[in-house]
Amino acid sequence: MSELERRYHRLLRAYPADYRRARGAEIVGTYLDLAGPGRRWPSPADAADLLRGGLRQRLRAAGAADLIPGVRLAAVLAFLTATALAAVWSVLELRPPRAEWGVPSAGPFVSLGIGVWAAWLLAAVVYAAAPGRWTRRAVALALLLAVAVVPVAALAGLPRPPLFVLLPQVGLGLVALGLPERLPPLLQAAPLLVVAAGVLAGVNLLPQYASYYDWTASGILPGAAVVLLVVVLLLGTGLALRADHRGGWALAVLLTPIGLLFLHPLAGAIDGNMRGAPNPGWYALAATAVVIGLAGPALLPLTIALRKRLRAPKPTVTSDRCPTCGRTTERVP
């Protein structure tokens, strides 16, 4: 066995054992036939293809083959929510604090967050023009900027968006990386429509809030969480009536971003020291974010395991009668 073949067999462990025994040699042989001469390592595309195929087969074996379509549905809803919020924050960034207040600002903007929100708006435009790989790259860029703005702001001594604003955006962005390659033409324009709606909402909020640092702006995030939750529940109910479980899986995937959108009020309820104060303590915010970040992803494998157990075939019990004494005994074949 060559080194390349051995490495393909290692990647093949992503598949269930029964599937490997039945078709493993055929799969590895196909990849070896397509590999160029002198190659010693599987290409990144081959490795990703094998890992995706193994995940798909394991989900099918667990009775969760509809999880991947559910992830794609969740990705579309997360992307629309993230771009709408970015549009709102972009408008609120246009009103920096007055100079006499002595509050630092990032030039003509409230904070360095304007770069993050601009990247999300760019992703919406890319999605409308070229959905698929380029959109995922644009989302990855927006995610990178959302994470990088924290150390950059600290090094530059300039303000940044609050963490309770950035964390939900990161959670939504991670889910949005699962966007499908293609969508119906009408849905391709949906991000631009929600961006327009977000801009209008931001314009209406601009006279009320000096910036999204104001504690009252945290009400925007719970509102977005409620809208997202209602939409996914309605879609899930409608799909379930047609024996389509994508909506249930989408809800399971979106639980973490929805929880992060509720981060500010949840931390306030846990803090117990607010008593009408605008913000919960930092420790309460951090602890709540950690709990949400751990509990949400943990529910997904638990749901898959429960689904597998419920779908497992029950053993058939048969009865045997003794010809001598007439006693009946049950046995499981």
pLDDT tens sequence across 5-57: 788 788 888 887 777 788 878 887 787 777 777 777 887 877 888 887 777 77
User: Which pTM does this prediction carry?
Assistant: 0.77
Measured CA to CA, the distance from residue 75 to residue 77 in angstroms comes to: 6
pLDDT in tens, 64-111: 667 788 888 999 999 999 999 999 999 888 877 666 555 667 778 888
Say if CB 194 and CB 90 are below 8 A apart: no
Q: What are the distances in angstroms from CA 172 to CA 54, 165, 254, 259? A: 26, 11, 8, 11
State which amino acid sits at residue 302: L
Boundaries of every domain in the chain: 3-61, 67-311
Instruction: Record the tokens describing residue 316, joined without a space.
Output: 């058939």
